[in-house]
Amino acid sequence: MFEKIKENLLALGYEVSVFENKETAAEYLNGRIDQTTVGIGGSVTVQEMGLFDLLDSHNRVYWHMGVADREEAQAQREGAAAAEVYLTSVNGAAETGELINIDGNGNRVAGTYYGHKKVYLILGKNKIAPDYDAALWRARNIASPKNAKRLGAKTPCAVKGDRCYDCKSPGRICRGLSVFWAKPFSCDMEVILINEDLGY
């Protein structure tokens, strides 16, 4: 099922690895990432894979998800920004190769662009859309409302859960959009494709 997107991602300069399930993907990443510093962007996909516990047993891992204290959460974001390895997912991936993320704080978008030796972008099959427009629609109208609801945002999309309202709410979590047209020059980047629905 991943033939088209894999071919296009490879042509755009990414490494690509394909797995049938989250367990084998997690085992692969746990074997590749060892004795280093790891930053994780906000990601339900990473959470569902149990990667924090796996990696934290033999790496120094920075991750703000689930940290209630605001100062500590910010310290975790800053640690993640300086890590040698960075992991997160994407909100939408086009079969044509564009990778899309929407962010509220900017740490996850920034973390994928620059400053790390290696970046892993992990995505389940549910994140994939036929083309750029469909991937952007998915990021805005599927991933973002679900994330807003998860975070308890007081926004129309969180309340209704059906689509983006392009709201002006103070609690709006859609504050920055990132699109990779191709792999950046600055670091190694590997896309992990998993044949399961994962995250939003």
Residue 40's pLDDT is: 97
Indicate the average pLDDT of the chain: 96
- Helix, strand, coil proportions of the chain in percent (round to 5)? 40, 25, 40
Q: Which residue spans within 54-197 are E strands per DSSP?
A: 60-63, 85-88, 92-94, 99-103, 118-124, 128-129, 176-180, 188-194
What are the two backbone dihedrals, phi and then psi, of residue 73, each rounded to the nearest 5 degrees?
A: -60, -40
Q: Rounded to two decimals, what is the model's pTM?
A: 0.95
Please name which of 140, 133, 132 lies closest in space to residue 182, comparing C-alpha atoms: 132
- For residue 1, the model assigns a pLDDT of 77
pLDDT digit string, tens, across residues 168-177: 999 999 999 9
Percentage of residues in the chain having pLDDT higher than 90: 94
